[in-house]
Amino acid sequence: MTVELTVDKVSRAFGGVYAVRDVSLTVPAGELRAVIGPNGAGKSTLFALIGGQLAADTGTVALDGIRVERRPAHRRGIGVVFQTARVFHGMTAFENVMVGAHAVTRAGFLAAALRLPRHHRDERRIREKALTCLDRVGLADWADRPAEELPLGQQRSLQLARALCGEPRLLLLDEPASGLRAAEREHLATLITRLRTEGLTILLVEHDVAFVMRLADRITVLDLGRVIADGTPAEVRANPEVRTAYLGPETVRPSEPHPGVEGVAG
Amino acid sequence: MSDLIGYLITGLGIGAGFALVASGLVAIYRVTRVVNFAQGGFAVLAALLTSTLLAAGLPHGVAELGGVALGALAGLIVGVVAIGRPGTSPGTSLIVTLGLGVLAYAVEVLIWGDQPRSFPGLTGVAEVAGARLPAHYLLILAVTAPVFALMAWFFARTDLGRALTACASNRYAAQVVGIDVRRMGLLAFTIGGALGGLAGVLTTPVQQVTFDSDVTLIVNGFAAAVLGGLTRPMIALAGGLLLGVTQTLVAGYGGGAYQMEVALVLMLTVMIVQAARTGPVPETAR
C-alpha cells in the first residue's frame, strides 16, 4: 500500500519567477519526511506539484518509479490535507469523510439506481470506514455537525479523516498543526506517528520547527525554491546554511505565513 | 369551488413539468456552474421521439422510457460539447449550450417537421372533490413526486450522489479527494437531460409539443430554478409548482393571453422580497 516518492529536478515558475527550481528529493516508503523553509521558499508550490494541483514546467514526479506528473490530481492516489479549510459545506462531518471513500468505491450509477445488494454492501462498508476514520482523528463526537461549523483546527482534522478514508498511498500534510491548541497538537502528533508506524509514506510541511524535529525521520530544507539541506533532524539543526536562511544575514524574516507564492496551493 | 380545485390540480401538473426542467438546470449548475440553456430542448426531443415510437406501435411506458433515454443521451452530448474541453469557463459553456439549443431546432424540424405533435397519455376524466379534470394530470403528479424523492435519496445516500454534492461545494477539494470532476459534470448533464426528457413526455399529452416549445419550458424552469439560487432543487420544485398554479389560475379566472407574464411578475416579486430580506446573493466561489 505504501510507496516511495521520487521528485526529480522539478521546476515551476510564475511570471518568470521560480517558485520551485530543480528540486529533487526521494522519500523511501514508510518514511515521514518534513519540508521546512522560510516563507516564499516554495514549500506549498512543491506540495501542489506533487499532489497534482499544479503542473510542473519541467521535471518528474514518480510513485514507486511510475511517473505521475501528467496524471490529474484525482488519479494519483495521494491524500492531501490543506492548511486552509477545504471541507465540503452543506454536508455533515460524517458525510465529508464518506466522500473520501469515493476514490476506492466502484459502485456505479446503475447499482445505486436499482438499489442492488452490492450498493447496500458498499454503503455499509463506507459508513463503517468513515466512522473509523472520524474516530481516529478524534472527531467522532462531531459526526453529525455541519462541517463548516467546526472550528478551524477540527476542519483540518476532518480533512485528514477524509484523506485517510480514501486509503492514500502517500499523505501530504500542509501545516497540519497550525492554529491547534496544545492538547490537539499532541493528539495530532500521536496520530501522525501512528500512521507512520503503520507504514504510510508522509510528507509534512510545518512551521513549528520543534514539532517537526520531534516527528520527522528526515528533513528537507527549501529556500528560494531550491533544496539547501537534507538530512536527519540533528544534521539539519547543525547546518549553518539553514540557520542563515531562517534568520538571514542581517534581518529577521517574519515567522507568520503570508499570501503570495506560498498561498498558491492553499 | 370545484373550479378552483380543478385549476389547482391542473396547475400542479403543469408546474411539475416546470419543476422537472428546473431541477435539471439545478443538477447541472450545481456541479458545473453552467446554466444550460439547452435544457428545454431535452424535453422537446424526448416528446417528439415518444410520439414517433408510439405511432410505430410501441406500447406506452416503453415509448416514454425511450424518450427519457434520448433526453439523457442529448444531455450527455451537450455536456461533452459544453464542458468536455478542460479549462472551458462556465460563461463559454453557457453560450455553447445556447448554440446547441438552436441547432436542435434544425434537427427537430428536419426530422419531425414544424407542426405541433402530441400523443395520448392517460385517457379518461378523473373526479377529485367534485372537480372534473383529465386524469393525465394526476399521472404527472404521481410520477413527479417519487422522482423528486428518488433524487433526494440519490444525492444524500449514494457514493455518486455525495461525490456530485462534493463537486457542487468545492471542486478543488473534490479533485483532491479523488473525484473526477469532469466526469461528474457529464453525469450531471446526463441526469439533467433525463429530467428534461421526463418533463417533455409527461406534459405533452396535455400540452402538445412543437420544436420551439422549449422556450416556455426554459423561461419557467429558469425562473423556478433561480428562486433557489440555481442550487437548491427543493426550492426549484416549489417555484415550478407555484408558477404552474399561478398560470392556471390566471388563465382560468382572467385571460389566457397573459398567464405567463403574470406568473413571471409574481416570481420577480418573490425574488425581490427574498433579496430584500436576505441581502445581496453572495458571489459563489468557483
Domain holding B224: CATH number?
A: 1.10.3470
Q: Per the CB < 8 Å rule, is B170 touching A72? A: no
> Smallest Cα–Cα separation from A161: which of A141, A194, A190, A131?
A131
Find the mean pLDDT for residues A84-97: 90
Establish if B93 belongs to a structural domain: yes
**Per-residue pLDDT at A103:** 80
Helix (H, G, I), strand (E, B) or coil at B54: helix
**Per-residue pLDDT at A251:** 46
What residue type is A37 in one-letter code?
G
- Could you give the CA distance from residue B212 to residue B189 in angstroms, rounded to a whole number? 21
Task: Kindly state whether B153 is in contact with chain A, defined as any CB-CB distance less than 8 angstroms.
Answer: no
**Per-residue pLDDT at B53:** 95
Query: Which residue is associated with the grid cell 534568520?
Result: A247
Chain B CB contacts of A73 below 8 Å? 175-176
Choose between B284 and A68: higher pLDDT.
A68
Establish if B282 belongs to a structural domain: no
pLDDT by residue for chain B (286 residues), tens only, comes to 678 888 999 999 999 999 999 999 999 999 999 999 999 999 999 999 999 999 999 999 999 999 999 999 999 999 999 998 888 899 999 999 999 999 999 999 999 988 998 888 888 888 888 888 888 999 999 999 999 999 999 988 888 999 999 999 988 889 888 899 999 999 999 999 999 999 999 999 998 888 888 888 988 999 899 887 888 888 999 999 999 998 888 888 877 677 778 777 877 887 788 777 765 555 444 3
Secondary-structure class of domain A1-72+203-266 per CATH = alpha beta
Establish if B261 belongs to a structural domain: yes
Establish if B284 belongs to a structural domain: no
**Per-residue pLDDT at A112:** 65
Q: C-alpha cell of A97?
A: 469523510
Find the mean pLDDT for residues A38-50: 89
A54, A57, A63, A65 alpha-carbon torsion, rounded to 10°: 170
Phi-psi region of A5 (alpha: psi -120 to 50; beta: other; left: phi over 0): beta
Using the predicted structure, report yes or no on whether residue A266 has a pLDDT greater than 60.
no
pLDDT > 90: what percent of chain A? Answer: 40
**Per-residue pLDDT at B110:** 92
Chain B CB contacts of A75 below 8 Å? 178, 180
A102 closest CB neighbour out of B156, B169, B177: B177
Query: CATH number of A78-168: 3.40.470.10, 3.40.50.2300, 3.40.50.720, 3.40.50.300?
Result: 3.40.50.300
Closest-CA residue of B relative to A75 is B178
> Smallest Cα–Cα separation from B48: which of B98, B134, B112?
B112
A86 closest CB neighbour out of B156, B161, B173: B173
Using the predicted structure, report yes or no on whether residue A258 has a pLDDT greater than 50.
no
Using the predicted structure, report yes or no on whether residue A263 has a pLDDT greater than 50.
no
Q: What is the pTM of this model?
A: 0.85
Task: Kindly state whether B187 is in contact with chain A, defined as any CB-CB distance less than 8 angstroms.
Answer: yes
Angstrom CA distances, A125 to A78, A120, A138, B5, stand at 21, 9, 20, 48
List chain A domain ranges.
1-72+203-266, 78-168
A2: pLDDT confidence band, cut at 50, 70 and 90? Answer: confident
**Å from A88 to nearest chain B CA?**
5
Q: Per the CB < 8 Å rule, is A119 touching B158? A: yes
B3, B9, B15, B19 alpha-carbon torsion, rounded to 10°: 160
Question: What average pLDDT does chain A have?
Answer: 85
- Please count the structural domains in chain B: 1
What digits encode the pLDDT tens for the residues A110-169? 666 666 777 788 888 899 999 999 998 888 999 999 999 998 888 888 999 999 999 898
Angstrom CA distances, B201 to B67, B109, B187, stand at 7, 18, 21
A262: pLDDT confidence band, cut at 50, 70 and 90? Answer: very low
Assess whether the region A1-72+203-266 and the region A78-168 belong to the same CATH fold: yes
Q: Per the CB < 8 Å rule, is A112 touching B162? A: no
> Smallest Cα–Cα separation from B220: which of B64, B11, B8, B65?
B11
**Per-residue pLDDT at A1:** 59
Range of the domain at B39: 2-277
Establish if B285 belongs to a structural domain: no
A91 closest CB neighbour out of B154, B165, B181: B165
Chain B CB contacts of A109 below 8 Å? 160, 187
What digits encode the pLDDT tens for the residues A3-35? 899 999 999 999 888 999 999 999 999 999 999
pLDDT > 70: what percent of chain A? Answer: 88
Chain A CB contacts of B180 below 8 Å? 72, 74-75
**Per-residue pLDDT at A206:** 85
Q: Per the CB < 8 Å rule, is B159 touching A113? A: no
